Structure 1
Amino acid sequence: MRSAHLTVRVDDIDPGTAFDRIKDFSRYPELSDVVRSVTVHEVTDDEESSDWEVYFRNGILTWSEADRFDRDALRISFSQLDGDFADFSGTWQITPDADGCLVAFTAEFDFGIPSLAGILDPVAERVLKETIARVVVSLFETAAVVGDDTLARAVAAAPVAAGGR
């Protein structure tokens, strides 16, 4: 199983506001050209399901996931219900930091094709990290990737999405 981790620092935004913006998955297609569509099905205030289509290599990855929101803990967890991955799950964790907050994203995934894992997994990890970082940077004017200089440079080189902030 492959994992992807990234952290983005957001200055001048309180963690609760960051949580509310991040959990609005239906906005993600306007924040990244990699995200083709997200359809959200609200279940309760603390739980929903969502259907995703994301451009990947020469095709489209699709999946449905269960999303759980814990506002008190500023934590969002998700797990695939059905889709192109053999397994896909992860978390968003927002924590206070100086005059803002840190947004940590972690995902674990497996395509279920061991013979292609060496080729697909590194590409999927890079695309996932770049896409999530661009979404968060598009959501907040004062956001910057921390702890991963290569990712920070890739995100800085891309224009901010038109629908951001």
Structure 2
Amino acid sequence: MRSAELTVRVDDVEPGAAFDTIKDFSRYPELSDVVRSVTVHEVSENEEQSDWEVYFRNGILTWTEADRFDRPGLLIEFSQVDGDFADFSGTWKVTPDGTGCLIGFAAEFDFGIPSLAGILDPVAERVLKETIARVVISLFDSASVVGDDALARAVEQAEAVAVGGR
């Protein structure tokens, strides 16, 4: 099983407000050219199911996930219930940090194809981290990747290309 983790610092945003912004998955396609679509189905006040389509390599990954929201704990837990991964689950965690907050994302995934894991998994990890970082940075005026200089540079380059291509 492969894992992907990243942290984004958001300045001057209260943790609860950041949590509410992050949990609005239906906005993600407008924030990243990699996310093709997200359809959200409310299950209860603290649960949703969301259907995802994400461009990956020369195709599209699709899955449905169960999303559980713990507003008091500023925690979102998700797990695939159906889709292209053999296993996909993770968390979003918002924590206070000075006048802002840190948004942590962690996921574990497995495509279930051991013979291709050495090729697919590193690419999927990179794409997942870059996509999540770009989405979070797009959600807030003052946000930056922390603790991963290579990811921060990749996100900056991707944003420069996106701006230059418009």
User: Do they superpose with TM above 0.5?
Assistant: yes
Structure 1 consecutive aligned stretches of length 4 or more whose deviation exceeds 3 Å: none
Q: Distance in 2 between matches of 1:158 and 1:58?
A: 18
3-state DSSP of counterpart to 1:125: helix
Higher share in helix: 2
The residue correspondences of 1:15-164 to structure 2 (distance < 5 A) are 15-159=15-159
- 2:7 is aligned with 1:4: no
Amino acid of the structure 1 residue aligned with 2:38: V
Q: Distance in 1 between matches of 2:82 and 2:23?
A: 20
CA RMSD across the alignment: 1.2
Q: Distance in 1 between matches of 2:90 and 2:6?
A: 12
Unaligned runs of at least 5 residues, structure 2: none
TM-score after normalising by structure 2:
0.95
Q: Distance in 2 between matches of 1:150 and 1:93?
A: 22
**Identical positions, percent:** 80
Q: Distance in 2 between matches of 1:45 and 1:23?
A: 12
Deviation at 1:27, TM superposition (A): 0.2
Q: Distance in 1 between matches of 2:89 and 2:22?
A: 16
Deviation at 1:159, TM superposition (A): 2.6
User: What is the aligned residue count?
Assistant: 162
Task: Tell me the alpha carbon deviations over residues 110-156 of structure 1, each in whole angstroms, 9 at most, x when there is no partner.
Answer: 00000000000000000000000000000001100000000001111
